[in-house]
Amino acid sequence: MNWTEIKVHIPQEKVEEASAIANMTVPYGIYIEDYADLEQGAREIAHIDLIDEALLQKNREQAIIHIYISECDNAQEAIEYLKEHLKAAGIAAAVDSVGVDDADWNENWKKYFKAFEIGERLAICPSWETYENRENRIVLQIDPGAAFGTGTHATTSLCLGALERYVQPGDRVLDIGCGSGILAIASVLLGAAAAVGTDIDAQSVKTAQENAAINHVAEQIDFSVADGEDYGEQPFDIICANIVADVILHLLTFVGKFLKPDGIFIVSGIIDLRAEEIIAAARDNGFMIESTEIRENWYAFCLKK
């Protein structure tokens, strides 16, 4: 499959706001070049002090958001959407595009995605790398391909942290908008007996199934293409939705019937500007806020009926 790569060049201080807008253009995520804290990030994530000279020469005041649009979708429409919404938000941006193929996409992911730890028990490792497991962590291998969900984005890492706290042995977990499958796979690796993952994108479901196989949990997870309001008759102990605020608002109106009485509904993908709206809608639909997590202007809420 061929893709259009859209590059959005923005001032570094506008990364979070521009990323929220960019995330609205695709169902499978974005990646960001931001070198403002290069040295600190190298020490904290890669545990190194020696950095390639070419990286040190990168512009620290500018960031680039990369978005990929499949040949089945309208890239020009996405570009116009970005220009219009960035302008409305007062963000000075330059937008350009170029055609790429699947091989280029995968190589771009590999350049920017390295192994890292999350919480007290998890480590996320690209399938093409070897992770030195000094702390005896649960290692989740992931190859995102064209699907959203590597764990590096704040919204996904917030969900992973919540799963680490709430998953109990024997739980059933539902991941709505599963992307790469990372949350469903993590839940099983953390002790859940079974998981269900749904996504509106067939390619994401295929990627999720492949990632489940890589992690030897394929028999415990059912991934499928779905865009509806029926998740079966058996309720879940935990439901995850790492999507966008508008979809979460809709889910809140009916997803409670698929949750056990003492179950947890984890929602993320919520930019700070929409947080109060989600809180109000949760309460209006019979949920209470069990916990709130914030990272880089993104919110995740753990809700109970």
Q: Are 100 and 2 in contact (CB under 8 A)?
A: yes
Task: For residue 141, report the phi and psi dihedrals to the nearest 5 degrees.
Answer: -90, 135
Spans of all domains in the chain: 2-111, 152-304
> Which pLDDT score, from 0 to 100, does residue 47 have?
42
Nearest to 124 by CA among 104, 102, 153: 153
The pTM of the full predicted model, rounded to 2 decimals, is 0.69
Cα distances from 16 to residues 23, 136, 276, 303, in angstroms, run 11, 33, 18, 25
User: What's the CATH number of domain 152-304, 3.40.50.510, 3.40.50.150, 3.90.245.10, 3.40.50.1370?
Assistant: 3.40.50.150
Residues 6+ apart with CB under 8 A from 304: 262, 263, 264, 265, 287, 288, 290
Q: What's the DSSP call for residue 220?
A: G
Instruction: Please spell the DSSP secondary structure of 287-298, one letter per residue.
Output: -EEEEEEEETTE
Please count the other Cβ atoms lying within 10 Å of the Cβ belonging to residue 23: 21
Give dist(CA 6, CA 99) in Å, integer.
9
> Which pLDDT score, from 0 to 100, does residue 45 have?
42
Q: What class, spelled out in words, does domain 2-111 have in CATH?
A: alpha beta
- Extract the tokens encoding 286: 């019979």
> Which pLDDT score, from 0 to 100, does residue 73 have?
66
pLDDT by residue for the chain (305 residues), tens only, comes to 577 888 999 998 888 888 888 887 775 668 888 766 544 443 344 444 433 445 445 556 888 999 888 766 667 767 877 887 888 788 999 998 887 666 555 565 566 567 888 888 999 988 788 888 889 999 999 876 655 566 667 788 899 999 999 999 999 999 999 988 999 999 999 999 999 999 888 888 998 999 999 999 999 999 999 877 889 889 999 999 998 788 899 999 999 999 999 999 999 988 787 899 999 999 999 999 999 999 877 899 999 99
> Which pLDDT score, from 0 to 100, does residue 302 have?
98
- Kindly state the greatest CA–CA separation across the chain: 57
> Which pLDDT score, from 0 to 100, does residue 89 have?
81
- Extract the tokens encoding 283: 């309460």
> Which pLDDT score, from 0 to 100, does residue 50 have?
39
Nearest to 26 by CA among 66, 69, 65: 69
Nearest to 126 by CA among 141, 108, 105: 141
> Which pLDDT score, from 0 to 100, does residue 21 have?
85
Task: For residue 239, report the phi and psi dihedrals to the nearest 5 degrees.
Answer: -120, 135
Q: Are 121 and 190 in contact (CB under 8 A)?
A: yes
